[in-house]
A and B are shown apart, each in its own frame.
Chain A
Amino acid sequence: MKSDLLRFADWTDPVPPAEREVVSITEETDAARPPLLFVPGLGHGAWAFAEHWLPAAAARGFAAHALTPRPGSDLRVQVHDVVQVAASLPRQTVLIGHGAGALVVAYAMGRYPAKAAVLAAPVMDGWPTLGAALRANPFGTLPAMVGGRLRLSRKQLFSPELPEERARELLGRIDARPRRELVTHDPAPRPVGGPPVLVVGSPDDRVVPRTSLDRTATRYGGAPLLFPGMGHDLMLDVAWAEPIEAVLDWLGKELKS
């Protein structure tokens, strides 16, 4: 069994430091509320949250931060970066991961006692996700399996209501280079400190199958909060306001109790 206590990888080969891109909105936020740290998934950067979710969270009084993953980094490095940024914030932080970023958050929860965590459209179990991707977008997915770029399609990420031009613009910003470990990784560790965890997603997500959403939510002792009609990119799709408002409502309730 892998040891939680003997962390030889960190002791003998520490992750080297790097400049991390963190986009933050902290003006006029409530110091009594915990900071939120958004972690984007494959091919996305902090920009994906800076569009809508960061301002929406700040408007409700939460200091909001989003981290861009280091280019070319593996899961261990991404987890390291999330924990580094979380620990650098003044208060115990809420981690919010989207897509493969939710997997990073799930791992980070094993290393840092988050105040709470939200897994949005989480890409948690690799094989079902790979199957779904091959069904929804075979020609975009196959090259990635042999080390090429993953070309995500419009119907995987967005609902049909998103204007064509906007969808094209967003797809142009996404540069997804998945690593093998996205499929082959070990199950995420047990979270330290027992934080409340919320799973949100869409039954119409063409990246994360509904069964996978249920499985993830069960693992963290709940049921997924669903937003029918939305694509995988909950924070960019036309109805982006609904999931973030629901997440902030949930946070408000959890933090009070």
Chain B
Amino acid sequence: MRLGFWQYRRVPDTPDIVDRKDVADRHDAVCVIGAGASGLAAIKNLREHGFEVDCYERETSVGGAWNWRHDRSPVYAGTHLISSRPLTEFPDFPMPDSWPDYPDHQRVLSYLERYSRHFNLESDVWFGTEVVSVVPVGDGRWDVTTQSTGGGSSRVQRYAGVVVANGHNWAPLKPKIPGEFSGQLIHSAKFKDPAQLRKRKVLVIGGGNTGCDIAVEAAQQASTVWHSTRRGYWYAPKYVLGHPADQVNDRMLKLGLPLRLRQWIYRRTLALTTGDLTRYGLPAPDHRPYESHPIVNSQLPYYLGHGRIQPVPDVTEFDGASAVLADGRRIEPELVITATGYRPRFEFLAPELLDIGENGRPDLHLHTFARQHPTLAVVGLVQADFGLFPLAHWQSVAVARWMRLRVTDPERATAVQQKESTRPIASWSRRRVVPTSRHWFEVDHADYLRAVEGLLREMEPSK
């Protein structure tokens, strides 16, 4: 466990880079990579702190993952929010209060487009432009090489800071299952339309929110549905006591109930609502509530109860037309959808800049600040029992305020940095989680926001 925050390691100026004539110096401007929800919030908040911003977006429109037109968008026709509207909207730009509790992906995209237009963010976005490399050139400055998406000549510009907001739900993580499968095998990223499921025998692999949603979708369309999960999870309903479940959960946080008591209440609530799912053949959870990313799905138990979804264990190998299960059974699906998630990828950065370990996990202060490069930050690389937009908003406020403070009051910035290095990781990162890559960035939203607020207060402009 590393405690050090921003331990300076000065990068020696490499003369052949620094003196390059073809580098356009953008002086105090900050580069933002990606114009999805996190990138848009970063542009807005950097601007509000007085920075000029250049944002590069490989696609030709805003919205990132939520824009179904984008190659890398994981959105499919039935996608909707898992967290409810008040816990998902930007804190300074609410969704219309007349919208439903759980808006679908088209509403979410229209919301992001409106956010972008309202604050005129697109004027700072270079669309159809990919970032090829980001290289430190000393003094906290960065050379950013860009080129048109899919090729063309490249261009190098020098920035005072870089905010990475390239998303972490676009590079599919595919399970390694031995053997050859003669049917159709796709990752959930390529699942777009319920028609793909119609009247087919479908096996869905993965017990996350996507896997459960697709299993439910398949239950309505396919002729047979198997749902393969490796371990038992706590399947929370979307509504408890007539309110969105996350709003009820936050009532417990508001009252400051200790974790153990909340876990007990969680178990009781699930026993009274979802009931015992082992009855349908699902494994019992091997962890306590709040120790894994929450799965919220009211319909899964319904279709299990109607026999439309048959739970099956892990798939150990493919053998021609059949999939072999961990219990030795063989099933013969026509379509296999692996809903096994995504991996964060930062091809344009040398791994050591984000302290990326061998397993591919970046090690960042508050999942945001590069530990050794004070002008490099990542926004939106976090998973919570909460919407991502508000977290990305506050992360980008913290980044903007930090970058501003470095310029206006370097002494105080150093003091903030020292103070932050003593902030225990356990205070903002959820430590007791199921040890899978899916939980690398798992936080409890209340603890996390408290930590970010602590940092913001240290950097509060003096009156």
Chain B, interface size: which category?
20 to 34
Asked if B394 contacts A5 (CB within 8 A), the reply is: yes
Asked if A90 contacts B87 (CB within 8 A), the reply is: no
Task: Give the chain A neighbours of B14 by CB distance below 8 A.
Answer: none
Expressed in whole angstroms, the minimum distance between the Cβ of A222 and any Cβ of chain B is 15
Asked if B453 contacts A92 (CB within 8 A), the reply is: no
Say if the beta carbon of A12 comes within 8 Å of chain B: yes
Contacts known (A5-B394, A192-B92); A11 close to B87, Cβ less than 8 A = yes
Asked if A90 contacts B117 (CB within 8 A), the reply is: yes
Once bound together, how far apart are the Cα atoms of A5 and B450, in whole Å?
A: 7
Contacts known (A6-B449, A91-B120); A12 close to B251, Cβ less than 8 A = yes
Q: Which residue of A lies closest to B452 (CB)?
A: A5
Say if the beta carbon of A257 comes within 8 Å of chain B: no
Asked if B97 contacts A113 (CB within 8 A), the reply is: no
Contact of B250 among A8, A84, A193 (CB under 8 A): A8
Say if the beta carbon of B98 comes within 8 Å of chain A: yes
Asked if B92 contacts A8 (CB within 8 A), the reply is: no
Contact of A92 among B96, B119, B446 (CB under 8 A): B119
User: Which of B's residues lie within 8 Å of A, judged by CB?
Assistant: 44, 48, 85-87, 91-94, 96-98, 117-120, 246-248, 250-251, 253-254, 394, 446, 449-450, 452-453, 456
Task: Kindly supply a per-residue 1/0 record for chain A positions 91-130, scoring 1 wherever the CB is within 8 Å of any chain B CB and 0 otherwise.
Answer: 1100000000000000000011100000000000000000
Contact of A15 among B97, B117, B119, B456 (CB under 8 A): B97
Contacts known (A11-B250, A12-B251); A5 close to B48, Cβ less than 8 A = no
List of 5 A-B pairs having minimum Cβ-Cβ separation, nearest first? A8-B254, A17-B97, A5-B449, A14-B86, A11-B250
Once bound together, how far apart are the Cα atoms of A18 and B63, in whole Å?
A: 29
Contacts known (A12-B250, A14-B86); A84 close to B97, Cβ less than 8 A = yes
Say if the beta carbon of A169 comes within 8 Å of chain B: no
User: Which of A's residues lie within 8 Å of B, judged by CB?
Assistant: 3-8, 10-17, 80, 83-84, 87-92, 111-113, 192-194
Once bound together, how far apart are the Cα atoms of A61 and B94, in whole Å?
A: 27
Once bound together, how far apart are the Cα atoms of A113 and B92, in whole Å?
A: 7
User: Can you offer 10 A-B residue contacts whose CB atoms are under 8 A?
Assistant: A5-B91, A5-B394, A5-B449, A12-B247, A12-B251, A13-B247, A16-B97, A17-B98, A84-B94, A192-B48
Task: Give the chain A neighbours of B452 by CB distance below 8 A.
Answer: 5
Expressed in whole angstroms, the minimum distance between the Cβ of A10 and any Cβ of chain B is 5
Q: Which residue of B lies closest to A16 (CB)?
A: B97
Once bound together, how far apart are the Cα atoms of A156 and B337, in whole Å?
A: 72
Q: Which residue of B lies closest to A87 (CB)?
A: B93
Asked if A3 contacts B453 (CB within 8 A), the reply is: yes
Task: Give the chain A neighbours of B97 by CB distance below 8 A.
Answer: 14-17, 80, 84
Task: Give the chain A neighbours of B98 by CB distance below 8 A.
Answer: 17
Task: Give the chain B neighbours of A87 by CB distance below 8 A.
Answer: 93-94, 96, 118
Asked if B92 contacts A112 (CB within 8 A), the reply is: yes
Once bound together, how far apart are the Cα atoms of A14 and B93, in whole Å?
A: 15
Q: Which residue of A lies closest to B117 (CB)?
A: A90
